[in-house]
Each structure stands twice: as structure tokens, then as C-alpha cells.
Amino acid sequence: MRRFATERAKRLLFGSFRSSPPLFSGAPLCSSLSAAAAAMDSAATPVTLDTINPKVLKCEYAVRGEIVTHAQRLQQDLQSKPGSHPFEEILYCNIGNPQSLGQQPVTFFREVLALCDHPPLLDKSETHALFSADAIARAWQILDVIPGGATGAYSHSQGIKGLRDAIADGIAARDGFPANPDDIFLTDGASPAVHMMMQLLIRSEKDGILCPIPQYPLYSASIALHGGSLVPYYLNESTGWGLEISELKKQLEDARSKGITVRSLVVINPGNPTGQVLAEENQKEIVEFCKNEKLVLLADEVYQENIYVDDKKFNSFKKIARSMGYGDEDLPLVSFQSVSKGYYGECGKRGGYMEVTGFSAEVREQIYKVASVNLCSNISGQILASLVMNPPKVGDESYESFDAEKTGILSSLARRAKALEDAFNGLEGVTCNKAEGAMYLFPRLHLPKKAIEAAKAVKAAPDAFYAHRLLDATGIVVVPGSGFGQVPGTWHVRCTILPQEDKIPAIISRLKAFHEAFMEEFRD
Amino acid sequence: MRRFATERAKRLLFGSFRSSPPLFSGAPLCSSLSAAAAAMDSAATPVTLDTINPKVLKCEYAVRGEIVTHAQRLQQDLQSKPGSHPFEEILYCNIGNPQSLGQQPVTFFREVLALCDHPPLLDKSETHALFSADAIARAWQILDVIPGGATGAYSHSQGIKGLRDAIADGIAARDGFPANPDDIFLTDGASPAVHMMMQLLIRSEKDGILCPIPQYPLYSASIALHGGSLVPYYLNESTGWGLEISELKKQLEDARSKGITVRSLVVINPGNPTGQVLAEENQKEIVEFCKNEKLVLLADEVYQENIYVDDKKFNSFKKIARSMGYGDEDLPLVSFQSVSKGYYGECGKRGGYMEVTGFSAEVREQIYKVASVNLCSNISGQILASLVMNPPKVGDESYESFDAEKTGILSSLARRAKALEDAFNGLEGVTCNKAEGAMYLFPRLHLPKKAIEAAKAVKAAPDAFYAHRLLDATGIVVVPGSGFGQVPGTWHVRCTILPQEDKIPAIISRLKAFHEAFMEEFRD
């Protein structure tokens, strides 16, 4: 009851009602400013760019930045004036959003969701003609673990316990090591989970987070919004975006020498925007590094199902740590997973979870409290997260059709990745690493000096200049490398591998024609 | 292209790769600390209560606080050892979560959601036996406005344009004044929308937000997490929780005299936890006050459909402002709405929106950018938000059954509110205002001195002490008033009106028996 006592003591500190406003729990009234400062600062203050939170101003998110706004304008043009541009449609290769480009949802998952949305269907005989038997059975199982079967109720702040049990089972089956449902926090996609961890760890700009460069800009945006410092470590493009421990150590020491307290290491595996898949030995070194340096390992593992090469395999960092004999007490480790990626690509459902291990009970209580302020994540997303971690199994009625859908999507993605990689590598002055996994290629553009000067003349970064020209000429939307970070003086773009397979040849020939003309125009 | 230029200039400021880490956009590396400070602060720092973000520590959220954790333990007891407590079930009256207590979802809404989750149903003949014709038609309409019909794709960062059109139509029909779909930001419930506005407005603890006391603790929690100051204004319990302009002015001046820049006024109407519904004249005064003082009016209007008295009516603040002749340029105003409340009570769907008016285009762009970092809210919640703002109309096939469900729920809530209000007022030393709206009663407990001393002896606030004793004796979970704020020296509890109607008589008699015994035990 300590908390209550403190609350009461706080209240007793203040005079009677209306003489002085009481200090409200957790949201202090500042009273130590000088009268002059008060007169300066506290008058009526309209909301302008100069008076909003500067952390908001600093935050950037290129994946939906200026180039996408420009693409939306072009799309409106095409609708209002067909033929007004040299292409017929905008191809959004800026964002990992498979279903927006025609990928179909996995039938089994959607059957279960529909049944859970409208449970009276389960009592009707017609339902058996419309839904597979195992989807019906799964919906019953799910409703059974939801208190009162109420899919419209707020759940436990971490998510429905029975769904967390299922997810823990799925993790254990994936890793061969046990998982604890109490470690799972279900979230509306992975992004809010990342924000929660940044909010927990960052106290001021003196706290640093080691992030890969290039990185997915959610990390830089979240660190900016929470007022921390991004400590960059560079992936080595020449070794296929290798993650080198010597680089981690160098950047950690460098940050520490500047007074930064480095709290955490972000690793994105498979990589975004880079597409590399980490080797097991490399992951072991990373775990060892985090353990020795007392860093929270934030493992972005949302592309765990997206692997396109035979010689690489996804290993979760938890599996690696446990296989090294490290337990909860050795290393704080958070794994992020999402229903938006994988073969399912259910971005619009906003489902995901984080598995939080290696924190003390009292710190975990703080994470729980912050989760509670937001009540819970959406129940459809929770259900879907339990499904992707426990898809149909051999012998289930849906298994064959499910497996055909899954394999069809993944093998097509692998073909598209290869075709686009080859196409980029076939362009003059462009080099492109393999997409071993994830949903992106991140080709490097070796641009002629004249192009760089032309960009400078219009006050654009060279990669942004290239991306704009590409969009205006072809309708293809890619994101400039500067939105992800890159070695200064190098230029890249991120391009998803997500357009449907029948569109890939046309995309490649448009890209090729554009690039040839661009190089011709700016040849030194 | 100014932003790109700035980006590039930033990069050019730094030496070559690996000599010094570049300042990453929006997440600065702090380099101005002294060497001594660096040596002190920057070593390996494990994650403990002493090293996490103190704003997280400060944040409190009583609605899912200690008493609920205690209730969950009792519930586990009851499951493992039936008969181990003097009650058979836990009655969660701590949170506005209607479907967790047995309220059934509105059929039409769920039919449409199920069809949108699994659109192939729309092509099957059996579907007509399972779904109403207007639900089928509505699902087609909705899929039609979703690009590619893809309910599994990320949408526009503000939400699907066609759904925002429908919501704007619903607002216009409600208010009699036009609404602009570009002003709507769809969100995962109202809570993330509140966080977004706090994040925008709060720069430091010198920025203050005027909040009612008592308040819904999302506000104090969000202000604490964003590092601002809560400037309390007291609702007048003796006039049915009246909101007095003189009190607003007094607290505003008081805060300003302490150097606080007051940015915004939060008004919750209908009130939570207080249940009052503001009169139109009062709302006009509030609008005038915000306009004159250049405050952002944050209008929590999530209970707009929950009105239980004939002499009160919900008026949105936007309608009031427009009826006074005030337009966009006169007053920044944000209205929050949610699918979790009303007669629908779809808490688990996490749908909601904010209507943002009266901000400059450039500030709106910043709100859009922050929304973009989180990609979009969940599409089922977006669809549901469009449905609650456009329910079936007279003549639609579902109208009669829909209206019967709606009226049934609202009239039952009105009866429950009255029965519980009367019950509280019938208890010795308890006074309880009417629940004119919302889902709560906030009775005041005039506790005997002996009870206050007994609470002190166990280091509990008297209202927390009472709530714990009530829970242990009856299984009824209410939240102590200290979680919402109250005039120092007064004590309250918040109790929802949500248990199903057939349980109300038993709840009342358990409450009465407990209270009599409590007063007997502690009578002065």
C-alpha cells in the first residue's frame, strides 16, 4: 500500500482546496521559475511551428515523406486527367505493404477472423458451406480462451492470456526453447512496441541507442520523439551489409567518450532496408557484446518468415542466447514480431507482439503500467498474431490449401527479389546486394558529378533527386537512401520487391529506360 | 525541397565515414558534456528503476492499478479454490468495458466487420441466409472505397479517405455544420489520439494542460509521460460537478503566475468519472474562454451517445463554436470519439478518431507526420468508426432490429444508472450525483474518523481502504477517487453502471450489507 500512502502524503502537503492547486500525481506543476521568466513565457501562446514540441519537428519518417506526398498528387492527376503523365499508374515501392499491391490474404486466417468477429455464425448450419472445418474449430478454441467469448471487450493489458499461451507455444516450437506467456505483450503492430521500449529507456539526449545505418526510420523517429540520441553503427555494404562487432565497439566507445550512456542495441534481422540475414556465429557475437556491455538487445525480427536464399536461415536472438546457455538473468532482450510482414502481410490488421525477457520484476511492472494506460491492442490483431505463430498443421483440413498459398507467396517473392536485384545490377553505375530476406533492395547509385550538381542546384540530395526523376518518369515510388541513413557521400534508394509478379517485367524495362536516359543526360 | 537541402548540409558538416559519427536527423548525439560527466554517466548501465525514464515512473493509471491486480488474484483464488471467498465472482466495475460484463455487440456492425474481414463471402449464395441485406450492401460500399478492396493493407496515415468521408457526413448530420474529411485522423481508440496531441503541445514541464479534477487518468498519465504539467481545475460537486469559468480563470492565472505556459483545456463531456452533461450556455462560455486565452480545446466526447436524462442533450463543442459564428481561424479544437463507448461499447476493436480543426496547415503537417510514423490505425476499427457515425437508417432492412438493440442497451443503462445512484444515496454518509451521461457514478464517502485512522494505520488512502474492504467482502471492484483526483480531504469511488441489469439487485444488496457493516465497525 506504499503508493497510496505516498499519494495521501502528497495531498496533505497542500493547503485547502482552491488556495493552491495540488501537485497532481506524476504531472508536476513547475513553480521554480523566476517572475521575469514567468512574464515572458506564460502568456497566451498560439500553436505554431515555433511553439510546438521541438522533438516532433525533429522527427522524420521518409517512408511516408515528401516523395510519397508527391506521388499522391500525381495519382490524383492521373484520375482527373488520364494521360497527363507518361505512365498509367503509380507503383508504390516505398513501403512494405503487400496487400496494397495485390497480395491476397491467407484464407484460413481471414476465415477465423470473420468467425470471431461475428460468433453467431458458428451456430448456423450454412456456415459449414462457407468456412473450412478447422477454421470453425479454431474460432471456437479462440472464443473459449477469451473471457465470456467477448471479442469486443478490452483484454488484459498484455493481451488475452490464452492467445499469449498460443504465441508462447509457437515461439517454443520455432526456437526449441521454452517461452513464457507472461513475457508476451501484444501490440497494435510492432511500432507501438518499439515506442514503448524507447519511452522506457530514454531519459534525455544523454541516453543513446545503437542503431544500424542504414536503418528502418521508425527507430530514428522514435528516438527523436523520445528525446534520445541515435548512436549509429554502419553495416558494411561491401560484405553484403555485414554487421561487424569491431564497428559496434568503436561506435560504443566513441559515444561513451562523448558522455552518452548507451542503453541498447537495435538489430534488424532480416535487415530493413538492407535485406541481409545474419549468420548464427555473428548473432552469438552480438549477444556476447550486449551481455558484456549491459545493453538491452532490441531485436526487430518482423521479417522472420521472409527468407529467400537456401544457405540462410532465421534464428531468433532468444534461441541464440539460450543456445549459448544464457538465461533471463544474463541479458535483457526484446524480440519484436508483427502480422504485417511474413507471407501473411496483414499490415492493416495492426497485430504484433514483443517478447520481453531479462528485465527485473519491478521494471516489467513499469512496462505493464504503460501498456495499461493504452488499455490493450486490438483483439483481431491479437487473434491474428496467435494464428501466424500457430498456422494450420499437416493433417488439418486447411493445411494443403494454406501451404499452397504460403509457398506460392514466398516463392514468388524470392523470384521477384532476384529479378529486381539482377535488374539493378544491370544498370550502369548501380550495385545491389542480394535480398536474402525481408522485402527490400537497397541498391547503391554511383551518380555522375553532373547529376550531383544538378541536384545541388535544386537544393535536393542526389538520391532524392534521382528518386523524384524516377517517379516523374515512370510512376515508380522508391525512398531515397538519406531517409534510412547511409555512409556520407554514398547514395542509395530503397525499393520493395512487392509489386505483383506479372508487373515486374514492365517495371524493369521502365526502370532501365529511365536510368539510361538519366545517365545519358548527366554523363560527366 | 528545403528539407532535403538541410539534410544534405547536415551530412556535409561531418568528416568522412567512421572518423566521427554523423548527426542523424532528428536524433542528435550529445557532445557537450564534460569529460568528468562522461566518465560518471556513460559506463555500462543496467536497466533498473533508478535508470529508466523517470516520466514512466511518475505516470499512474488507477483504472488498472493495484486494486485490479488484487481483484485478479482473488479471481484466481476463486478458480483454484471455489468457496475461498465470501462471493462467487468478481464484478469488475472499475472500467468502462461493457462487453466484458455481458453486453452483446450490435449485430449489424459485426455483420459488416465479418464480411469485410473475409470478402469472398460476398460472392457466395449462402451468405444471404446468414447476413442482412443492408450489411452485405454496406460491406460492398466499404470495400469499394478501400483501394483495391484491401482490408489488409496499411491505409493513408489518417485513415481510409472514403471512411473519413462517411465520418465527416456523420458529424455534419449530428451537428448541422459541415465537417471536412481531411480534418479526421482515425486512431486505435481515443487514447492514442490524446497522446498525439499531448506530444504535439508539451515541450517541457513549463507547459501546462488544464484538466478537470476529477479527471479520467489517461490525461494525467499522458501529461506525465510527455513531461508536462497538469493544471487542475475543480468541478463543483455541490452543483452536480459544474464546470465554472471563474475556476478556470483562477487556475489559469495561478499557473501563469508560476511561469507555466498553459497550452490547452481538456473538457470531458459527458463527464468521466463524474457523469455530468454540460449545458449549452456553459459550453459557449468555455469556447469563449479558450478563444480569448488562445488555448487548444481538447474535447473528450467519447460518451456522446450515453445520455440518460430527458433534460440534457449532447452538443459537440464544434457545433457550439460554429453556432457562435466561430470558424477554423478562431479556435483550435480537437474532438475525440471512440467506438469503445456509446451503445456499441466495442472496446476490443480499438477504433476511434479525432477531428482536428483550427490549426495552421504547417502544424497539421506535423500531426500528419507523427501519424505516419505509426503508419495507420487498424482497418476494422476504422470501418467500425465509420459505422457508428453512420448506423442503419429508417427503411434499411436492419433498422428495426438495430434500433431495438440500441434502445434496449441505452434504456437499460439509464435504469442501471438510476438504481445504483439511488442505492449509493441510500447509504449512510454517502452522497451521489446523478449520472446524466457516460458510464460511471462517483459517489462521495463521508467516512468516520475511525475509518480514516484505520486506513492511515495500514498506510492507505481512506478511499483506497474502503475500496479494498469492499472488494474483499463482496467481489465488487471500484476505483478509489484518488486515482481521478478530488478536493483534498474528500473521498470518493468510481463505480461503473455496466453490470448486466439482472445482477444489479444483488450488487446493491451486497454493497448495502458491506457498507452497513463497515460503518458499524468504524462508527466514531
Q: What is the pLDDT of residue B28?
A: 44
A-chain CB neighbours of B17 within 8 Å are: 234, 487-489
**Neighbour tally for B123: CB within 10 Å:** 7
Query: What are the tens digits of pLDDT across the range A338-359?
Result: 999 999 999 999 999 999 999 9
Average pLDDT estimate for A316-324: 98
Residue A500 has pLDDT above 60, yes or no: yes
Which grid cell sits at A168?
A: 508462447
Task: Give the lowest-confidence range in A27-41, B64-78, B210-224, B248-262.
Answer: A27-41
What are the φ and ψ backbone dihedral angles of A340, each rounded to 5 degrees?
-80, -20
Residue A390 has pLDDT above 60, yes or no: yes
Q: What is the pLDDT of residue A163?
A: 98
Tell me how many degrees the CA angle B189-B190-B191 measures, rounded to the nearest 5.
95
Note which residues in 66-95 of chain A have CB less than 8 A from chain B.
66, 95
Q: What is the pLDDT of residue A37?
A: 46
Name the closest residue on chain A to residue B149, using Cα atoms. A100
The residue written with cell numbers 502537503 in the block is A13
Enter the pTM of the model.
Answer: 0.92
Nearest Cα neighbor of B25 from B46, B42, B9 is: B9
The C-alpha atoms of residue B85 and residue B66 are separated, in whole angstroms, by: 19
B130 touches chain A (CB under 8 A): yes
Nearest Cα neighbor of B264 from B189, B203, B197 is: B197
Answer whether B4's CB lies under 8 Å from A464's CB.
yes
Tell me how many degrees the CA angle A83-A84-A87 measures, rounded to the nearest 5.
65
The C-alpha atoms of residue A36 and residue A41 are separated, in whole angstroms, by: 9
Q: What is the pLDDT of residue A376?
A: 96
DSSP bridge partners of B213: B234
The residue written with cell numbers 505483450 in the block is A185
Query: What are the tens digits of pLDDT across the range B311-351?
Result: 999 999 999 999 999 999 999 999 999 999 999 999 999 99
Q: What is the pLDDT of residue B44?
A: 84
Q: What is the pLDDT of residue A25?
A: 42
Residue A21 has pLDDT above 60, yes or no: no
Q: What is the pLDDT of residue B182?
A: 97
Q: What is the pLDDT of residue B93?
A: 94
> How far A389 CA sits from the closest chain B CA (Å)?
18
Q: Which residue has the higher pLDDT, A58 or B15?
A: A58
Segments of B286-439 assigned E as strands: 296-300, 333-338, 352-357, 430-431
SS3 call for A437: strand
Average pLDDT score, chain B: 91
Query: What are the tens digits of pLDDT across the range B97-125?
Result: 999 999 999 999 999 999 999 999 999 99
Q: How large a percentage of chain A has pLDDT more than 70?
A: 92
The residue written with cell numbers 495561478 in the block is B254
Query: What are the tens digits of pLDDT across the range A447-482?
Result: 999 999 999 999 999 999 999 999 999 999 999 999
Q: What is the pLDDT of residue A43?
A: 78
Average pLDDT estimate for B32-57: 73
Name the closest residue on chain A to residue B290, using Cα atoms. A44
Kindly indicate the confidence band of residue A141, based on its pLDDT and cuts at 50, 70 and 90: very high
Average pLDDT estimate for A195-203: 97
Residues near B76 by beta carbon (within 8 Å), at least 6 away in sequence: none
The DSSP output letter for B259 is T
Residues near A451 by beta carbon (within 8 Å), at least 6 away in sequence: A462, A465, A466, A518, A521, A522
Largest CA distance in chain A: 79
Query: What are the tens digits of pLDDT across the range B292-319?
Result: 999 999 999 999 999 999 999 999 999 9
Q: What is the pLDDT of residue B37?
A: 46
Name the strand (E) or helix (H) holding A334: strand A333-338
Q: What is the pLDDT of residue A63?
A: 78
Name the strand (E) or helix (H) holding A298: strand A296-300
Q: What is the pLDDT of residue B65?
A: 80
Name the closest residue on chain A to residue B155, using Cα atoms. A348
The C-alpha atoms of residue A442 and residue A486 are separated, in whole angstroms, by: 10
Tell me whether residues A370 and B487 touch, CB distance under 8 A. Answer: no
Nearest Cα neighbor of A321 from A357, A352, A354, A362 is: A357
The C-alpha atoms of residue A374 and residue B61 are separated, in whole angstroms, by: 10
Assess whether the previous peptide bond of B273 is cis (omega < 30° from 0): yes
Q: What is the pLDDT of residue B7?
A: 38
Tell me whether residues B230 and A24 touch, CB distance under 8 A. Answer: yes
Query: What are the tens digits of pLDDT across the range B463-520?
Result: 999 999 999 999 999 999 999 999 999 999 999 999 999 999 999 999 999 999 999 9
> How far A70 CA sits from the closest chain B CA (Å)?
11
**Neighbour tally for A196: CB within 10 Å:** 21
Tell me whether residues A259 and B30 touch, CB distance under 8 A. Answer: yes
Q: What is the pLDDT of residue B293?
A: 96
Q: How large a percentage of chain B has pLDDT more than 90?
A: 89
Q: Please state whether B485 falls in left (phi above 0), alpha (psi between -120 and 50) or beta.
A: left
Q: What is the pLDDT of residue A61?
A: 85
> How far B311 CA sits from the closest chain A CA (Å)?
31
A129 touches chain B (CB under 8 A): yes
The C-alpha atoms of residue B61 and residue B480 are separated, in whole angstroms, by: 11
Query: What are the tens digits of pLDDT across the range A283-306?
Result: 999 999 999 999 999 999 999 999
Answer whether A234's CB lies under 8 Å from A488's CB.
no
The C-alpha atoms of residue B515 and residue B466 are separated, in whole angstroms, by: 9
**Neighbour tally for B407: CB within 10 Å:** 11
Query: What are the tens digits of pLDDT across the range B143-174?
Result: 999 999 999 999 999 999 999 999 999 999 99
**Residue from B373, B379, B384, B453 whose CB has the most chain A CBs within 10 Å, to mutate:** B373
What are the φ and ψ backbone dihedral angles of B203, each rounded to 5 degrees?
-100, -35
Query: What are the tens digits of pLDDT across the range A512-524?
Result: 999 999 999 999 8
**Neighbour tally for A142: CB within 10 Å:** 25
Tell me whether residues B114 and A110 touch, CB distance under 8 A. Answer: no
Query: What are the tens digits of pLDDT across the range B357-408?
Result: 999 999 999 999 999 999 999 999 999 999 999 999 999 999 999 999 999 9
Per DSSP, the residues of B9-32 read HHHHTS-STTTSPPPBTTBPPP--
Tell me how many degrees the CA angle B140-B146-B148 measures, rounded to the nearest 5.
95
A-chain CB neighbours of B20 within 8 Å are: 254
A222 touches chain B (CB under 8 A): yes
Write the residue in A53, A111, A260 that is nearest to B29 by C-beta: A260
A29 touches chain B (CB under 8 A): yes
Residue B30 has pLDDT above 60, yes or no: no
Average pLDDT score, chain A: 91
